[in-house]
Structure 1
Amino acid sequence: MMSLSPSIGGIGSPYPWLSRELKSEERGLYLIHLLLTCANHVASGSLENANTTLEQISQLASPDGDTMQRIAAYFTEALADRILKTWPGLHRALNSTRIIMLSEEIMVQKYFFELFPFLKVAYILTNQAIVESMEGEKMVHIIDLNAAEPAQWIALLQVLSARPEGPPHLRITGIHQQKEVLDQMAHKLSEEAEKLDIPFQFNPVVSKLENLDFDKLRVKTGEALAISSILQLHSLLALDDESSSSRRKTPLLSRNSNGLHLQKVMLMNQSSSLGDLLEKDMVNGYTPSPDSTSSSSPASSNASLNVESFLNALWSLSPKVMARRFLQSYGCEGYKMREENGCVAICWQDRSLFSTTAWRARK
C-alpha cells in the first residue's frame, strides 16, 4: 500500500509530491489512492478528512493535464458536490445560478453515445426484448423514462417494420425535462415511421421523473406496455428516507392491478452507487431477492412492495448474442459482457460499469 505519510516529502510536509516532480505514472497512482480514500471518507460522513484529502488531490489534479489528472479533476468536483449536499441550503445557493445550456447537454449526450458502447449495447438488449415480448401484439406502448436519444427507437421501428405479421400500432411516450429535446425526438421518430409506413404516435411529457404525473402517460387498457429506463433508476433510489416517505408510490413501479397489459420493464444503470465510488462491484444491486429486501425494509414498505410486484425476466439468447457480437466488432478488446443473477453486466476489463435487467409484472 502506498504511504502518504508526511515523512515522504520531508519533515512536516503533508504533500510529499511538492518536494519533487512526479512522473505521470507515479502521479496517477497517488491520485487513485487519494480518490479512493476521499470516497471512503465521504461515504462514512468523515467530512473533515474528506476536505483534507480533496486539498491533497487538488495539488495533483488538473482539467488540462494528462488522462488521470483530468479524471481526478472531475471526480474531485463530484465528491465536493456530494459533501455540499450535506448542507442543502448551501448546496442550492451555490448552484442556483449554474445554468447548463441545452446545446451543451445534447452535445455531451451525443459524445457519450458515439464514443462508448454502453448505450448501444443497452439499446440492442432492450429492443430485442421488446420485439420478443410484443410478438403478435397489435397495439404497443413504450414509455421511455429518459427520452434523449432517438437512435434506440429508430432501430426498433426498423425491426418492427420487418415483422412477418406486419408492424403494430406503436406509441412511444417520452419523458424529459427539456421540451426542445422531446420536439427533436418527435420529429426524427415520426419521420422514420412515415418512411417505413408504420402507424406511430409520440406522446411528449415534459417532467422530472420524480414529479411524473401518471395521467400524462395516457396508458390505455388493452395495449401492450413496456417501460424502458436507461440511467434513470438512480434518480428514484437516491432519494433519502425523509423525502421518499412523503412521496406517493410511483405508479409505474407499483403492483400491476389496473388492468394494464405490462409486458416488460427494462433497466440499465451504473453498477455502483456513489457510496461505493471507484471501489465496489454492485452487479447484484439491482436484482434484489426477497431475503435481501426484507432485511433492509419492512414488508409493508413501498420499496418492498415495488420490488415484489415484479419478477426478474431472464434475457433470452438472441439479444445476448447480438450484444456480444456488437462488442466484439467494436474495435476495442477491453469491453466485455458477463451474466450474473439475471443481469447482463457491461464491463471494462473485469470491472462491471453498467448492468441491464429485464422485469415482468406478476400476474
Structure 2
Amino acid sequence: MLRSLLPTLQYDPKASSPAMTSAGKRAVDLASPSAAEPIKRHRTHLSPVEKDLQYEEEGADQLQAAAAGASSAREDDDSTGLRLLGLLLQCAECVAMDNLDDAGQLLPEIAELSSPFGSSAQRVGAYFADALSARIISSYLGIYSPFSPLCKTLHQKLLNALQIFNSVTPLIKFSHFTANQAIQQALDGADHVHIIDLDIMQGLQWPGLFHILASKSRKVKSFRITGFGSSAELLNSTGQRLAEFATALNIPFEFQQIEGKIGNIKDLNQLNVKAGETIVVHWMHHCLYDVSGSDLGASRILTLLRPKLITIVEQDLSHGGSFLGRFVEALHYYSALFDALGDGLEAESVERHTVEQQLFGCEIRNIVAVGGPKRTGEVKVERWEDELVRGGFRPVSLAGNPAAQANLLLGMFPWQGYTLVEEGGCLKLGWKDLPLLTASAWQPCE
C-alpha cells in the first residue's frame, strides 16, 4: 500500500534512498530458532492423545512458518514501496527543476520496481512512471496541450472503463445519486424542465432521474436535456438511448446535442433556452480531459444563464500550484484509489486492469504529463465555489435527503473503507481518511 508509506517518508533530495521513521515498532523474526527444537517421535509410536498433541504442535509450526513468510513478504513489499516512492519523488523534483537528463536516468530503475500487474504500490508506480516519461518528453519539446478524447476508439475504451468502474465502486453512483436528489428537489412543481449537462458522456445519470420524476403524481409536461460532448456521433447515440428510456416511462423528452464546450459558447441562444423552463446545470469535473474550455467563458455563461440549480461533482485534487506539489497530491490521491479498487478486485482481475489503464492511467498522465486539463496558459479558476459566489450564487445544503441516499448507496457495497462526510453543506466521499469526490449544489441569490 504505497499511500500508507507516504506520511512516514522523510524525503531528502541529496540522499540516494528515502528514510522511514518508525514509532516504537520493532521487527520480530518469527522463524528465529531462539530455543532448541524438541525432538518429535514418529506418530506410529504415539497414543491417540499424543497423536492429537503432535498434530497440534506441527500445525502451530506450520502457522508460525506461514506467519514468518507473510511477515517477510510484507517487509519486502514495504522496502520496495519505499524505494519506488523515493525514486518517483526524486524524478518529479528533477522535472520541477527542469533537470530533465537526471530525471530520465531515474526512469529505468522506477520501471524495474513497478508493474501494472503487481501490488497496488507497483501499479501506481507504473502509471506515474509512464506519466513522468511523457512529461520529460513534452518538456524537451515544449508541448503542454491538454488531452482530448477525440478518437472514437479511445473514447469508447474510456466509456467501457467508466462502466466497469461504475459497477465495482460507489464513486460514480455517488455523483449521480447525490446530484439527482438535489435536482429532483429543485424541480418540485416544475412543468417544463431543461437539464444542461456539461459533459454528458453516455448519459448514465439521467435514467435514474427519469424514474424519480415518473413516480411523482404531478408529471412534467416537457423534459429537455442539452448534452455537451466531443463527438457528434457519440452524442447522437446517447440521445437515442435516453429517448428510449423516457418513452418507456411516458416522459415527453427532447435531446439537444452540442459538440463543444460550455466555455466556448458565445451566445446564450446557442443553448436554445425557452421561456418558462426550469433550468438545471450539471457539471462533473474530472482529470481525463478539458471539459469546460475557457473557465472564464464558462463562468460568464453560468452567470448570464442563472439556472435554478447548479450541481457540481469534483475530484478532491488540485490542479494549481507548483508541479512538485501537484505531483505529491496526485500520488496520495491515486494511491488511495488504487487501494480502494484493490480492496474489491483481485490483482489479476481484467476489470481492475481495464479501469486502471484506461481511466486512472489517463488521468495521471493528464495531470503529470500535461500539468492538468487546463495548463494552456489561460487564466484558470482555482476554486469554483469562490467563482460561483462572485457570480451571484449561494450553496445549497446536501445534508438532508441527498446525504441519506448516499449513505444507503454505500450500504450496497461490501467493503468498509469508504467514508461519507458532510462539510459545509457539501458531501465528501472518501477512502479511509482521504476525500475522493465532493458534491455540491448552488442556486442564484435572491
Q: Under TM normalisation by the shorter chain, which class is it?
A: 0.7 to 0.9
From 292, 295, 311, the counterpart of 1:266: 311
Separation in 2, partners of 1:360, 1:141: 15
In 2 relative to 1, CA 7–335 (structure 1 residues): closer, same or farther, beyond 3 Å? closer
Whether contact under 8 Å (2:399, 2:422) holds in the other structure is no
CA distances 1:116-173 after superposition (whole Å, capped 9, x unpaired): 2111001111001000011001111111111113321001001001112223411011
From 409, 412, 437, the counterpart of 1:329: 412
Separation in 1, partners of 2:138, 2:123: 23
Letter in structure 2 aligned against 1:218? N
Separation in 1, partners of 2:385, 2:17: 50
Bigger mean CA offset, 227-236 vs 55-64: 227-236
The residue number in structure 2 matching 1:292 is none
Any stretches of 5+ residues in structure 2 without a counterpart? 1-8, 19-72, 320-325, 335-378
In 2 relative to 1, CA 225–348 (structure 1 residues): closer, same or farther, beyond 3 Å? same
Separation in 2, partners of 1:170, 1:99: 29
The residue number in structure 2 matching 1:217 is 271
The residue number in structure 2 matching 1:112 is 165
Alignment of 1:106-145 (within 5 A): 106-145=159-198
- With the length of structure 1 as denominator, give the TM-score of the two structures: 0.75
Separation in 2, partners of 1:357, 1:115: 23
Any stretches of 5+ residues in structure 1 without a counterpart? 9-20, 282-296
CA distances 1:72-128 after superposition (whole Å, capped 9, x unpaired): 111222334445554665456x99x99853432221222222222111001111001
Separation in 1, partners of 2:212, 2:181: 9
Bigger mean CA offset, 208-217 vs 178-187: 208-217
- Identical aligned pairs, as a percentage? 28
Whether contact under 8 Å (1:222, 1:261) holds in the other structure is no
Report the alpha carbon displacement of residue 339 of structure 1 after superposing the two structures with TM: 1.8
Alignment of 1:166-177 (within 5 A): 166-177=219-230
The residue number in structure 1 matching 2:111 is 58
Letter in structure 2 aligned against 1:327? L
The residue number in structure 2 matching 1:345 is 428
Bigger mean CA offset, 109-118 vs 325-334: 109-118
From 214, 221, 227, the counterpart of 2:281: 227
Secondary structure in structure 2 of the residue aligned to 1:250: helix
CA distances 1:223-275 after superposition (whole Å, capped 9, x unpaired): 11111111258966998xxxx6xx8632665434xxx5611111111101251
The residue number in structure 2 matching 1:73 is 126
- Aligned positions, number: 322
Separation in 2, partners of 1:311, 1:227: 14
Secondary structure in structure 2 of the residue aligned to 1:278: helix
From 201, 208, 218, the counterpart of 1:155: 208
Whether contact under 8 Å (1:210, 1:236) holds in the other structure is no
CA distances 1:172-231 after superposition (whole Å, capped 9, x unpaired): 111110223212211211111111111111111111454345543212232111111112
RMSD: 3.7
Separation in 1, partners of 2:244, 2:144: 43
Separation in 2, partners of 1:163, 1:226: 19
From 175, 178, 189, the counterpart of 2:231: 178
In 2 relative to 1, CA 270–212 (structure 1 residues): closer, same or farther, beyond 3 Å? same
Separation in 2, partners of 1:351, 1:25: 21
Letter in structure 1 aligned against 2:418? Y
Report the alpha carbon displacement of residue 71 of structure 1 after superposing the two structures with TM: 2.1
Secondary structure in structure 1 of the residue aligned to 2:303: coil
